[in-house]
Each structure stands twice: as C-alpha cells, then as structure tokens.
Structure 1
C-alpha cells in the first residue's frame, strides 16, 4: 500500500526507556526462577530425592500439564476482558505474585508421607503451581503485545526479556546444587526446601518490579465487541499464529527434554565429579551454567544482528544450527568433557536468540490479527501460545519419564547399557528431531520484515483516522 512520511513516523513511535525495558525483562527472570528449576531439576527431584518412580512421574506430568495447558486460553480470555486503572494485564503481576511464590515453594516442602501420599502431594502441589503460573504468565506475556505499538520496540523489549530469562536460568543452574549442598548438608530434602524459599521470595519482588515499571500503550480498536466464538475462529484462521504455535510446541519439547535429563546424563553417563574445578561446581552445574551464559550472550548479540537481517530468516538459520549441534552430542565420547562444552556453547549461543525472536513475532501476529480481522485479542493470542509451550512441556516431561522407565532406569543405582543408551538419546537425538520440526515450521512463517512494516503503517493510519 502507499507509504508516506507521516505514517512511517507514526509506525516508528513507541520507544521504551531503559528502565521500562529492564523492568519488563525482570518479569521473565521471576518466571524462570521456577520454570527453569522445573525444567532442569524437577524430574531428578521427584525420582532421586522425593522417591517417585520415573514412569509415575512421567504420567503425572502428562495429566497435570494437559489440564494446565487447557487453562491458558481461559486465562487469556479473562485478561482480555479485565479493565482496571492499571490496564488489562499488569494488575495480575501485582495480584498473583505471592500465590505464585507460595505454590512454587510448596512443591519442595516434602512432607513425611507414604508412597501413595507422595504421588498425591506431588500431583496436587504441581497442579496448583501451574495454575498460579498461568494466572501470572499469560498476562505477563500479553503485556509484550501492548507495551508499544512498534515492532522494533517490542523486539528490543524481547531482547531484555530473554537476557533476564536466561539470567534467571543461569542463577538456577549455577546456584541450586551448591545451595542445596550448603544449606542442607547431607540432607538434600532440606537443601531444596531452603533454596526454593529464597527463590520464591525473590520471584515475588521481581514481579512487583515489573508491575511498577511498565505501562500498557496499545488499546483495542474503538467499539470492539468481545465475542469469544468469533475470536476463536479468527485465531484458527490466523495462519502466522498457527505456524508459531507448532514452532513453540517443538521448541519447548526439545529444550525441556534435554534439560530434564542433563543431571541424569552427568550423574550416570559422563560422570559428575568436581575434580576439574577448584570451586564448588560439579560437571553438570558448570555445563548448565555455561549453557545459560551462552544463551544470554546470543541474545545480547541479537540487537546488532537484527538490524541487518529479518527475524524470520535468522530464526530458521539459528534453529537448524542448534539441531546439528544436538545430533553431534550422540557421537561425542562421554569422557571428552571439553568437546561437550565447546559444542554446547555453540548450541546455546544459537538457541538463545531464537527464543527472543519468536516471542517478538507474537506481537506481530497480534498486529496481523487486528489488521486482518479488525479485532485485537492480545491475551488470547499469547495465552494460546503458552498453551503450545505447556503442550511441549507436557510431551517432554512425559517422554522423559516414560523413556527412562522403558530403557530400565533405576534411580541411584549403577545403570544398565540399555538405560545409559536411553539417557544419551534423550540428551541428543530425540531433542534434535524436535528442533528440526521447529525449523521446518519457521520456514512456513509468512510475516517477513516488509510485511510487518506494511501492517504497522496501516494500523497507524487506521487508528489516526478513527
């Protein structure tokens, strides 16, 4: 469509201050203090600390995460219909922060129960935590779509978000095992309790900081009528969203599957001794921490690269590079720790920016929905995206527990050749398959830079005329 200087200026407005970008990013650090703990340690905690059989844990992940995934669109609809002096989405960061912290801590409270009681307790507390996570993270994710009308500004905010997210993951991977050992001594149960109490309190403060430092600037079109049936139909007809849905599901599956068995891999396959380090880090802690650091570094470099390349193109190239690195791990000898660190550094460096790029695309998808259908359903779009993430999390957690059981894993025992093979496959080939699936989905994504600019300008003119 014709472009004029006035519309171009309107489309480029909406830059955010450093304080607001950072404050927005700290919300994902709060999320990841628990989310990354679950990704990395929860299966290990349930099998090796709490004493639940891996097949039972896998089935619990399937049931609880399936139930939780269905809650996301409901929360999105609720958030879209919320109206307060603080906006639609920000109030939930204030209201739900304390329930979020309490529910996260309760998972690790570890009361003295029998075998059946432990399964029931784990199921109930995990379900409550995921409900609290949904109630605060659907609005938080939706905030990305209304924090600025500018796609470039949202991409920059996404960069801050994922630097902070991976910073939270770095804190988890770097500090959880040392803190558990330091605070609990030989009592690993007490160590997890004290450690997660610290992270619970910190997550509450971080969410409140995000609430205090951010604003909502993008409003629904004037006269917009809420129609759930119509919104759902428009969502299904939104081709860019459908493609990102698949990409997000595959992405979460391969990341969580690999993180879930990392502790198992170094405990049973590669050895987890700390003889290489003069500090308190064992091999798995150093591996996970270096991975999070390289993901942060990759996101920090994105600002330089994104000005020169299209988001879609970058995401495709980086995703297939990550997949190739994951395949390589199957062929690296278990004793060659240095080569593992090098290959993992490249995998993490290419993985980090794709997360930020894809999340920035969701704001473009919300713009596309308003541009195409005349209705903006930011909360529903982001909540349905979280549904994809929860689905991927469900697949990864379920497969991890079931595959461990299928290959004959027995906690805290010397593993059979079959069990070692199963752990190795989940650390390399299986996540690589899902990473390739993500790359194929992104190849089909239709919104390149020129199309996004055209949509921004059209919406700016439309709103100015209204």
Structure 2
C-alpha cells in the first residue's frame, strides 16, 4: 500500500505536467488571439512531439538505471511458457476480477480525459488557461489523498475504500452534468473546478490503489499452485490496462461521430454538446458503477492475505 501510494503520487506529477502543461505549450505554438483550443493542427503536433520525446527520454533513463537483482537460472526459465499467461488467468479468480476492474477503470479514465478539451472548448467556451486548470485538477488531489491511503485503508478496509472513492467520483460526475445542463451555473467556472476536483479525488484514489492488489493476486497464485510467477501476472495486468486504454480511445470517436461533431465549427450543435457531456460524465459514471460491481466480487481481504503470506513463508522456511 505504501509503495503504491508513492508510485501513484509520482505518476500524478507526470499527469500534472500533461494536464496543466499541455494547453499552455499548445498556445505557445499557436499564440493567435482569435484561435480556439483546437484550431491549429501544427501546434498540437509540435506539442505532442515534445511530450513524446521527453517521455521517451524518461523511459530510456528508467531502463538504464534498473538492475535485475533477482535472476532466475536456466532451469527455472525453461519452465516458463507463453501458455502460462492463459493458465494463470483461468485458475486465479482474484486475478480475473482485477483484470476486469483494470479494463473498466482505464476505459473510464481514457474516455473522460480525452473529452476534457472538447468539454471546456465547446460546452463552456473556455480558454486555454481554464483548460489547463481543469485538467490539472485531474492530478492535484493525488498530492493530498495518496499519502493518506494507508491510514484510510486501515479505517474502512480495502473494499470500503473502493466504494467510498468510486461513489465520490460518481458524485463529481453528476455535479459536472448538472452544472453543464443549467446555463446559469456553467458560467461559473469555479463550480466546474469544484466538481472536477471531487470527481478526480475519487478516480485517483480508487484507480491508484488497485495497483496494490497485484502483489496479492501473485501471492494467491503461489498459494494455490506453488509457483510465484510475478512476471506473468504483471504481463497480464499490462494487457488489461492497455485493453482498457484502447477501449477508452475508441469510444470518444464513435460518440462524436454519432452526434455529428464538426471539428471545423466554432459552435457545436446542442446534440454534439450533449455527446461531449456523455463522454465527460455519463459514460464514465456508468463504467464506475460497473467497476463497483466487479470489485465487490474480490474476496482477498487483509486477514486472508496475511494468512496466505504466513503459510507461504512457513513453506519456504521448511524448504
């Protein structure tokens, strides 16, 4: 839990650099006073190229600084097969539950994040500065709540924490929906910021803590069939994480096409604005409700995990 909290705290430093920094960088390459947030293709291309190169440099740095401290010998690696991915998924029920939670959670985040610029630009007629604040609020709650996760989990338990923060996120999305539907409210950006902060608080804590469950399903696998195949489990979670992101990348395009969104129009139709609002609030809220149902089936509570780890440790000591 502590390692996950630190990990997600730092991940949101990167998220803040994207959320708040991206609109500012875009405007640097498209300073026209008359342009809106999406008017210059070249500005977006240059900005994403810069972010891509910086990201590549950070990944290369991470790779060069990593040291493989636990190395399997040849006899052990010969027993690892690609088919182990499927076998582990079939026989490890907690892993299957976590996998579907990953798909749902990351689809929700991808959909909501991709719609943020459309929402500020077309539903609220906002500026690049307002988009910067709105997207930045998607990461700022991490710096407040991620350090508190271990204490919160001790108080309400694993599932209780998931339920509390998933519901918090849904409340924030409901606030965004109501504010956007009432003309007298959507003129007040502070209300939009508050709703975004509430939504992001729930999303960040719930989706951040799910990574702490990965070692649990690894231990469960070792407990049930005697093999601690951490690499395979992490490979599977990576597959489902990417599947969720891919699903979240497809849905916005389909919805925008359905509502006849016109990228060349400065003012979108009411139906197109409604479609953008579906992407910001309605569809993510539905996915969060599904995520709550999925995580309710996860039955590895702290007491059971402690017992599993003790039995694994006893087995290793006896060997």
Q: TM-score, normalised by structure 1?
A: 0.60
Correspondences of 1:336-347 after superposition (within 5 Å):
336-347=188-199
Q: Does 1:247 align with 2:101?
A: yes
Secondary structure of the residue aligned to 2:262 is coil
Deviation, structure 1 residue 173:
1.2
SS in 1 for 2:53: helix
In structure 1, C-alpha distance between the alignment counterparts of 2:9 and 2:248, rounded to whole Å: 24
Partner of 2:222: 370
**Alpha-carbon distance in 1 for matches of 2:264, 2:46:** 21
- Seen in structure 2, the aligned counterparts of structure 1 residues 198 and 431 have a Cα distance that, compared at 3 Å, is closer
Question: Over aligned residues, Cα RMSD in angstroms?
Answer: 2.5
CA distance in structure 1 between the aligned counterparts of 2:167 and 2:282, rounded to whole angstroms: 13
Cα shift readout 1:337-363 (whole Å, capped 9, x = no counterpart) = 211211221221122122221111011
Q: Residues 295 and 351 of structure 1 are in contact (CA less than 8 Å); yes or no, is this contact kept in structure 2?
A: no
For the structure 1 residues 459 and 438, does the alpha-carbon distance in structure 2 shift closer, same or farther, using more than 3 Å as the test? same
In the alignment, is residue 259 of structure 1 matched against residue 113 of structure 2? yes
Change (3 A) 1:176 1:230: closer
- The residue that corresponds to 1:151 in the other structure is none
Q: Which residue of 2 aligns with 1:52?
A: none
Counterpart in 1 of 2:35?
none
Tell me, in whole angstroms, the C-alpha distance in 1 between the residues paired with 2:3 and 2:60. Answer: 16
Residue aligned with 1:445, SS? coil
> Aligned to 1:451, which of 286, 300, 304?
304
Query: Given the two structures, how large is their TM-score scaled by the length of structure 2?
Result: 0.86
Distance 1:201 1:398, change over 3 A: closer
Q: Mean Cα displacement is larger for which, 261-270 or 293-302?
A: 293-302
Note if contact 2:99-2:240 (Cα within 8 Å) is conserved in structure 1.
Answer: yes
* Deviation larger for 238-247 or 180-189: 180-189
What SS does the corresponding residue of 1:226 show, helix, strand or coil?
coil
Q: What is the aligned counterpart of 2:252 among 391, 400, 403?
A: 400
Match of 2:157 in 1: 310
Q: What CA distance in whole angstroms lies between the structure 2 residues aligned with 1:402 and 1:157?
A: 38
Asked if the contact 1:240–1:446 (Cα under 8 Å) also holds between the matched residues in 2, the reply is: yes
Which runs of no fewer than 5 residues in structure 2 stay unpaired? 33-39
Distance of aligned partners of 1:185 and 1:335 in 2 relative to their CA distance in 1, 3 Å threshold: closer
Q: Secondary structure at the match of 1:310?
A: helix
> Conserved in 2, the CA contact under 8 Å of 1:256 and 1:397?
yes
Could you tell me how far apart the structure 1 residues matched to 2:50 and 2:82 are? 39
* Residue correspondence of structure 1 range 390-429 to structure 2 within 5 A: 390-413=242-265, 414-429=267-282
- How many residue pairs match? The answer is 304
1:212 to 65, 85, 94: 65
Q: Where do 5+ consecutive residues of structure 1 fail to align?
A: 1-154, 274-280
Q: 1:259 to 1:205 in 2, by over 3 A?
A: closer
